[in-house]
Amino acid sequence: MASFVDRLLGAARLDTSTYEEVEADPSSTGQAVLVVALAAVAAGIATYDQYGVQGLVVGTIGSLVAWFIWDYLVWLLGTKLLPEPGTQADVGQVVRTTGFSAAPGLLIVLAIIPAIAGFVGVVTNLWMLVAMVIAVRQALDFSSTGRAVLVSVLGFIAYIAVFVLIAAVFGVAAGLLEALRPAATAG
C-alpha cells in the first residue's frame, strides 16, 4: 500500500492505479478528506490578501460541504441515473477517489504571488477538473470518459450552486455582525 504522499503524487500525476487503490481502501477516506481540506486552505491562503481570515474560514468550510454534496450527487447520477452496465460503487468509493482528485489544488497556494496568480489559478483548476473526471471514471467503473465528464459536470454545477449559497449565507451573516458591531459599542 502506498503512503499518503505517494498517493498525493500519483493522483496529481493522474495515475489511474492510484485512484483504483484509494477506491478499494476504505481506510483512505480520512486521507481523501484531508486532501480536500488542504486544497481548500491552500486556496484560502492564496486569497488571504483579498479576503482575510473570513475568506480562509468560509472558503475551507464551503469547499468541504460543497465537495460532500458534489460527491453524493456524482454517486447518485453515476449509479442511479446514468450508470453503465458495469457500474458498481458506494458513496465511500466516490468520496475517496474524488478527494484525491483535489491533490493538484495544493499548488493553488502559489497564486498568492500576484505575477502568476491568474496562470496558477487556470492551470490548477483545469488540472483538478481532469483529475476529477479520472476519479469519477475509476470510482464508477465507467468505460466511457464522456460519461464521466457528463456526471462530473452535472455534479460540478450543483457544487458551484451550493458553494455560492454557503458564501452568501456567510457573507450575509458577516455583514449583519459588522452592522451590529457599532450599535453594540455605542450602547
pLDDT at 187 over 70: no
Q: Could you count the other beta carbons within 10 Å of the beta carbon of residue 167?
A: 16
DSSP secondary structure letters along 21-50: HHHH-GGGHHHHHHHHHHHHHHHHHHTHHH
**Dihedral (CA of 50, 51, 57, 61) sign:** negative
pLDDT (tens digit per residue) in 133-145: 999 999 999 999 9
71: closest CA among 41, 100, 88, 91?
91
Taking the alpha carbons at both ends of the chain, their separation in whole angstroms is 62
pLDDT (tens digit per residue) in 41-69: 888 888 777 777 877 777 777 777 778 88
